[in-house]
Amino acid sequence: MKDKLFLDTNVVLDLLGEREPFYDSAAKIATLADKGKIHLVVSALTYSTVYYVLSRFEDKEQVKEKIRKFKVIAETSDLTEKVVDKGLSSGFSDFEDSLQYYCAINRDCKILITRNGKDFKESDIPVLSPDEYLNSLKAK
């Protein structure tokens, strides 16, 4: 069975923004998804955040094209009223992180991939950095 991974916004920004030194790990995960070896999920909120951040440094149409290409390998978890309500009543210290987490839970993701693991202390699913996830594959 394929791993179903939820990518936090910072990992998608690393990938689409080619942010060093984090790009390589994010790209390896994207390649695994492109080859059908894993399943990727991101929240709808991620797309607006990625667009906002990257379009400050890059051409807006190029950013949209990057997002279009990324959408081919990733499913979108909708930001529903239920997700927002759970986020508001959660023990997460950061509201945006709670929304990401409940979007992951909403799509039955088994692992949450982020560079900010400390922000997901309330998580009931494993939280790994891109490097930790890739290293776990080597151990299998």
Instruction: Give the pLDDT mean for 41-68.
Output: 97
* Cα–Cα distance measured from residue 123 to residue 140, given in angstroms and rounded to the nearest whole number: 23
The rounded mean pLDDT for the chain is 96
User: How many angstroms separate the CA atoms of 68 and 86, rounded?
Assistant: 29
**Confidence band for 138, pLDDT divided at 50, 70 and 90:** confident
Q: What single-letter DSSP state applies at residue 93?
A: S
Measure the CA–CA gap between 68 and 75, rounded to whole angstroms.
Answer: 12
The stretch 16-44 carries a mean pLDDT of 97
pLDDT 10s digits, 86-101: 999 999 999 999 999 9
- In this structure, what CATH number is given to the domain that contains residue 118? 3.40.50.1010
User: In whole angstroms, what is the distance from residue 7 CA to residue 117 CA?
Assistant: 12
Q: Residue 50's domain spans which residues?
A: 3-139
* Helix or strand run (H / E) with residue 33: helix 23-34
If one counts the domains in the chain, the total is 1
Predicted local distance difference test score (pLDDT) of residue 74: 98
What pLDDT is attached to residue 139? 78
